Every structure is written in structure tokens, then in C-alpha cells.
Amino acid sequence: MKIYVDGDACPVVKIVERVAKEYSIPVVILCDTNHILKSDYSEICIIGAGADAVDLALINKCNSGDIVVTQDYGVAALALGKKAFAIHQNGKIYTDDNIDGLLMDRHFAKKSRLSSSKSHLKGPKKRTKDDDIRFEKAFKELILSVI
């Protein structure tokens, strides 16, 4: 088993590495040339910049039983299709039971944005310590359910 991290702007990389180290699980962080990362623990894969280049490389690398950390519902769906496990940076574990609804919500949100007259939408709320705690708890539970 390996842990693959969609590393472009991922706020939980350090948590993933710390927890993975506790369980001696290798980590592969994928990022594009705009987000060069360094790590003493993880393997870093730098992927050429391009639409979905990191996402496609991650899916090509992951296998059944691996864990994928991503906020992208599409990547999570593809990981689940490969019988990998997937978790969002907020601690939500993606499953075959919830992924269709999440993808549908994403579709409707995009459709709504396209038809909106607003030129700027609010970004996500600022990440808190509680968000990190929630992620770490769910991530450890996921690992323990897999090993």
C-alpha cells in the first residue's frame, strides 16, 4: 500500500507524512511545475503543468488498496474505480455510496456559476486547527481500516 497525495495546494501534506511515517507507509506527492515541493519522507513526482496533468498521473500510478488524498471529486471517483481508497482534505472519506452525489453537486454548482451574473465567487473558508484535527482522525481511521 502507498499513499498518493494530489499535492497542488494541499493543506494536509505534513499531516499525511507524519501519520504515514507512524505506520511506515510510503507516500508519493504529485505536483505540477508551479508547486514544487520538498520532503524528507515522501517521494515527490513533479508533473508538467497542464490541465489535469497531475490528476491523470496520480490515477495512473495508484493501485487497488492504495490511499489517495485529494479534494477533487473526479480524481476520487477514478481512484474508487481502481479499488483504491480516497479521502478529502476535510476528512470526508469518499465511497461508492457518496461519490455520485458529490459529482452531481459539483455539476450543479458549476452550472449555477456559469449562469450567474456574479463575476467573482467566494473562495473556501480559512482552514482551522479543528479542520486539521478532523482530517487526521479520519485519515488514521482509514489507514487502520485498510491495514
**pLDDT higher than 60, residue 1:** yes
The CATH number linked to 20 is: 3.40.50
pTM over cut 0.85: yes
Mean pLDDT over 131-142 rounds to 98
How many domains in the chain?
1
Q: DSSP string of the chain?
A: --EEEE-TT-TTHHHHHHHHHHTT--EEEEEETTS----SSSEEEEE--STTHHHHHHHHH--TT-EEE-S-HHHHHHHHHTT-EEE-TTSPEE-TTTHHHHHHHHHHHHHHHHH-S-S----PPPP-HHHHHHHHHHHHHHHHHH-
Residue 143 in domain? no
Q: What is the pLDDT of residue 98?
A: 83
pLDDT digits (tens, 9 = 90+) for 54-76: 999 999 999 999 999 999 999 99
> Quick check: is 117 in a domain?
no
Is residue 123 over pLDDT 90? no
Residue 120 is assigned to a structural domain of this protein: no
Note whether residue 122 is domain-resident.
no
Residue 63 lies in a domain: yes
Q: Is pLDDT at 112 greater than 80 in this prediction?
A: no
Inform me whether the pLDDT recorded for 8 exceeds 90.
no
- Residue ranges making up the domain that contains 80: 3-110
Query: With 60 as the cut, is the pLDDT of residue 119 above it?
Result: no
Confidence of residue 108 (pLDDT cuts 50, 70, 90): low
The tens digit of pLDDT for each residue in 82-101 reads: 999 999 999 999 999 988 77
Handedness of CA 43, 85, 135, 69 (dihedral sign): positive
Q: Note whether residue 102 is domain-resident.
A: yes
